[in-house]
Chains A and B, each alone.
Chain A
């Protein structure tokens, strides 16, 4: 899903922060929603990702709030983070577009999907 340089978790965390600053729990929920439940980050994993994105300059601390004696830190995307997310989204969109085009071409080709196993196997054998 994400390129080699950006993990799926990092991609969704950056996406979660694209519209507004969020705190840890807010990011967890947003990532789960954005991925339709496919990505459910643990707290330990989330903070590993936040550390990495902070070190790479893609996010920064926006503000700190204290609620019921507990610390809540809000993070926001930097310009660099927005650019990296944009580039990753472009790359994924281009990949998805290419896949759709290939599927459409495959459907148009006569008999391509109906008889897929007439050639030799991948290894060139008869099995």
Chain B
């Protein structure tokens, strides 16, 4: 007769995908219940540690590498591509933003430098710490990217989780201080979503069994430098256009078009997850772009800013559609 503990353990095993349960469930139940006293099994439950180990196994088998059924291998490949591209975009955007900000402040007289420093010092110790964290922590996207491409997964996970933290301040700040909920709440929401989806995708998809991260072309340093140059150039050449969505959206547009061109010239179409991941990333960036622009609509805006933002909206929409079509074709082909 089935005991309550067995029933409960089987319920925990339902976290696992069906293909895995079919192969392993009976064996795992046998291993789990082997030396447990049958008389006490109706009073016990699977421990938290045991449940956590099954949950981790469920995550690894759903975001699987090769050898798993097609849909799970595809899900894993998509999540890994999404994480890699998203972390690269955020790394270059954060680094270039800070380098340009520091350069501007340090080369345009003492008033600019005082204004830069006052952002950290003029609002009391709590906000000072928050400002420093908001300025410094996003630089860890870069650490996360290079740790990932050099297969230092633990460092990559820690770095991106810390890098994403500042995006929570708009929601946590009003709870712990007298700061107010930001007026552009949707922008704060989609920005946090972008950061946390990137960080969590990296943490979940680059598990122990996953293959090492590999860029479709070039060395990591070269690709990072190219993205940084595109980001910096887009800000310097159109100084009236940039807002916080500008740099990652520009990089995505250039990177995704480059990816499509490379793909069209190569006989090897690469893994199916690439196009799906880029389409998902493009959709997310489109949401960030629209949320950044939306609060300003109806106000008299500089033509450069409005034109740049609307151009990005159009470009992102077009690319998402194209990438979606490519992804669909890849899915059928695989």
Do A and B pair up? The answer is: yes
Residues of chain A having any CB pair with chain B under 8 Å: 7, 23-25, 28, 42-48, 51-52, 55, 67, 70-73
6 A-B pairs within 8 Å (CB atoms) are namely A25-B35, A42-B49, A47-B24, A48-B208, A52-B209, A71-B30
CA distance A51 to B65 in the complex (A): 12
Residue of B nearest to A44 (CB): B53
A-B pairs, 10 with minimum CB distance: A44-B53, A24-B31, A42-B53, A25-B34, A44-B54, A71-B26, A70-B30, A44-B57, A45-B53, A25-B31
Q: What residues of A have a CB within 8 angstroms of the CB of B54 in the complex?
A: 42-44
Q: Shortest Cβ distance from A51 into chain B, in angstroms? A: 7
Contact B31 A46 (CB under 8 A): yes
- In the complex, the answer to whether B57 meets A47 with C-beta atoms within 8 Å is yes
Q: Verify A43–B53 contact, CB threshold 8 A.
A: yes
Extra contacts, 9 of them, besides A25-B31, A45-B56 (Cβ < 8 A), are A44-B53, A44-B54, A44-B55, A45-B53, A47-B27, A47-B28, A47-B57, A48-B56, A48-B208
Contact (Cβ within 8 A) A24 B67 = no
Does B53 contact A24, Cβ atoms closer than 8 Å? no
Q: Complex formed: what's the CA distance from A28 to B28 in Å? A: 12
The answer to whether A43 touches B208 (Cβ under 8 A) is no
**How many angstroms between the C-alpha atoms of A76 and B331 in the bound complex?**
38
- Whether B209 pairs with A24 at a CB distance below 8 angstroms is no
A28, A42, A43, A55: the one contacting B67 at CB < 8 Å is A55
Return chain B residues, CB-CB under 8 Å to A73: 27
Contact A70 B26 (CB under 8 A): yes
A36 to B110, CA, bound (A): 65
User: Among B27, B49, B55, B56, which residue has its beta carbon within 8 angstroms of that of A24?
Assistant: B27
Residues of A within 8 A of B61 (CB): 51
Q: CB-defined interface of B24-53 with A at 8 Å, one 1/0 digit per residue? A: 101111111111000000000000011011
Alpha-carbon gap, A71 to B32, bound state (A):
12
Q: How far is the CA of A122 from the CA of B227 in the complex (A)?
A: 38
B80 within 8 A of A: no
Which residues does chain B contribute within 8 Å of A44, judged by CB atoms?
28, 50, 52-57
Nearest-neighbor residue (CB-CB) of B57 within chain A = A44
Closest chain B CB from A104 CB (angstroms): 34
Contacts of B60 in A (CB 8 A): 48
CA distance A12 to B49 in the complex (A): 20
Contacts of B50 in A (CB 8 A): 42-44
Q: Which residue of B lies closest to A42 (CB)?
A: B53
How near does chain B come to A49, taking the closest CB pair, in angstroms? Answer: 9
Q: Are A51 and B30 in contact (CB under 8 A)?
A: no
For the complex, what is the distance from the CA of A113 to the CA of B203, rounded to whole Å?
Answer: 43
Chain B nearest Cβ from A1, distance in angstroms: 16
Cα separation A23 to B49 with both chains bound (whole Å): 21
CB within 8 Å for A24 and B30 given contacts A42-B50, A44-B54, A47-B24? yes
- Chain B residues within an 8 Å CB radius of A70: 26, 29-30, 33
Complex formed: what's the CA distance from A72 to B55 in Å?
Answer: 22
Q: Which among A42, A43, A46, A47 has the greatest number of chain B C-beta atoms within 10 A? A: A43
B51 to A: closest C-beta gap in Å: 8
Beta-carbon contacts under 8 Å, B51-77 to A: 52-57, 60-61, 67
In angstroms, how far is the closest chain B Cβ from the Cβ of A122?
21
- In Å, the complex CA distance between A24 and B60 comes to 19
Closest chain-A Cβ to B63's Cβ sits at a distance in Å of 13
B216 to chain A, nearest CB (A): 25
- Chain B residues with CB under 8 A of A28: 31
Q: From B30, B53, B67, give the contact of A25 (CB < 8 A).
A: B30
Contact A48 B30 (CB under 8 A): no
